[in-house]
A and B are shown apart, each in its own frame.
Chain A
Amino acid sequence: MAKAVDLKRPLADLAAEVQTGKLTSAELVEASLARLKETENYHTVLEISSTALQQAKVIDNRIAAGETIGPLAGIPYIAKDNFLTADTHTTAASHILEPFKAPYQAVAIERLEAAGAVMVAKANLDAFGHGASTENSDFGASKNPADPEYVPGGSSGGSAAAVALGQACFSIGTDTGGSLRQPSSYCGVVGLKPTYGLVPRYGVIAMGSSFDSIGPITNRVADAALVLDVIAGRDDRDATSIERVHDGYRLSDIEYTLSGQKIGVIKEYLGDGLDSSIKKSIDQTVALLKSKGAVVEVVSLPAVKLALAAYYILVPAEVSSNLARYDGVKYGYSAPEAENLEETYRLSREEGFGAEAKRRILIGTYVLSSGYYDAYYKRAQSVRTKLIAEFDAVFGKFDFLLGPTAPTPAFKLGAKVNDPIAMYLNDIMTVSANLVGIPSISIPLGEINKLPYGLQLMAPQRRETDLLPFANAVEELL
């Protein structure tokens, strides 16, 4: 019988207790595995690691032998199933990778392991990260912890729901257009998308390579800062990765003051389509921030209205290129009935990819095809430039930007599966941060009929060291 351990306690406290022998990693991992079993109906994970408990015992033995482990000593976590991991399969929730076992691990996984964290399971997602509800998983949707008739959001829906259910102490996922923040909003947890490149992408299944960002989903901002501190920083195997800051990302004990902070509220996110309760919460948050001496003003960024359209040209273009590697030859599903190489490609991809992956590959192929490239792809890249210029200008006047994470709380399972555009609109408030490459965090703001919704905070590129203490202060205020 697993000892009652609260897996939602602060990561730093749990790791310290494991290191000092007050708790064992085996106890934490057993509690995690028990909770996964107890809440398996939410279908948050695709595979449970068979070696997690053994890894935990190795850590406990090393501690008993006097070794200092690391900042995440013995902590169980869950990785989205688009991270390559050694002891489980990696499917990206797609049939085309169903038989795949990764021959190496993602940089983020290596770093978490080195810090003492123990991966207990692989989380469900919209296949290849394509979606906002996990309903595009080829292995069935996950369910919202607040109400199992609702979606958990996506694409990191399994990762977010797992943390909300207390199945592990934190999870990691990817965010190409909101895939960490929007499910965190729907599940009532914290989701951090760092600056593009801060966490190396090596060993993470590519979706939109100029957008894909890796980050944590946690119970509180301080935990997100601690996990980021472990996984951030350049690695030679990802040429687009960037250097970490010298002093790291953990929150300091120095008292933070909201007074004098300049905060812009994005005007375009407050208009039509925003749920009135969320609008009210945003207004209340603004009043609270002002009462603490922050300078808060509504600011207009007209190009964010174009962001979603630019995103749905550029990302499918990158998707069509990245998903060309699934050809039924080197790894993954291969159509047995194919009679020649051309058929191997055509049939393996027809049978292996789900509907949304096909839609995105075809749209991407269309916008990149001869005669359309300038009209769509190149034009969208220029709109990206305009958006970046607008954010640059606004960050000249404000330290942070604030808005809702998504226009509504979670929707019902099945409500949008037949309408790709309605599904895409869930990302309307999150895609800009990916187009611009800036860090953005979603923290719990409130609930409507028990369904959570989040507050989104953004800062300029490489300014996680400002964003995280600010988000922590806002979290305390709410």
Chain B
Amino acid sequence: MSKITTDEVERIAKLARIGVTPAEAKNLAGELDAIVDFVEQLQAVDIEGVEPTDQVTGLENVLRDDVVKRASQNRDELLANAPQVQDGYIVVKRVMNG
């Protein structure tokens, strides 16, 4: 049975903030379902009592002195990549709908 339906693609695409057309959603449902089906083999693995790994070299919290460091880039350089700038601010489209 397929786990990833077109509705499911639309749900996760909304969460990921990616627009998908109905035709794309249909294609993606098939492709994503094949991938989920492939990774499904892990369900059979006994992981009782096995701790999850998220850091492989054994580093723990890496701390530094709490001192002010000057940024190495200036504001104009950073803003140069923004799609739209006004008075040193990044311009965004309106946030409220309607």
Contacts and interface: CB of A to CB of B under 8 A. Distances in A.
A240 B55 contact: yes
B23 interface: no
A270 B9 CA distance: 37
B51 interface: yes
Given A103-B73, A306-B41, A362-B16, A343 B93 contact: yes
B2 interface: no
Contacts of B86: none
Which of A242, A331, A342, A362 has the most chain B CB atoms closer than 10 A to its own CB? A362
B88 interface: no
A277 interface: no
A369 to B, nearest CB: 6
B28 to A, nearest CB: 7
Interface residues of B, number: 52
Interface stretch (A39-47, A307-315, A394-402, A442-450): A307-315
A131 interface: no
Given A330-B82, A363-B36, A369-B15, A378 B52 contact: yes
B42 interface: yes
A237 B4 CA distance: 40
A376 B96 CA distance: 35
B19 A363 contact: no
Contact of A382 (B8, B35, B47, B81): B47
A240 B62 CA distance: 8
A461 B57 contact: yes
Interface in A311-333: 312-313, 320, 324, 327-332
A349 B4 CA distance: 21
A242 B59 contact: yes
Given A328-B83, A420-B34, A421-B34, A341 B17 contact: no
Contacts of A384: 52-53
A365 B59 CA distance: 27
B80 A103 contact: yes
Interface in A6-32: none
A38 B90 CA distance: 43
Interface of B: 4, 8-9, 12-13, 15-20, 28, 31-32, 34-36, 38-43, 45, 47, 50-57, 59, 62, 64, 72-73, 77-78, 80-84, 90, 92-97
6 A-B pairs with least C-beta separation: A381-B52, A437-B56, A350-B19, A331-B81, A334-B83, A382-B47
Given A359-B32, A369-B12, A382-B52, 13 more contacts: A103-B78, A309-B39, A332-B81, A341-B94, A343-B93, A350-B19, A358-B28, A365-B15, A366-B32, A367-B39, A382-B50, A385-B50, A420-B35
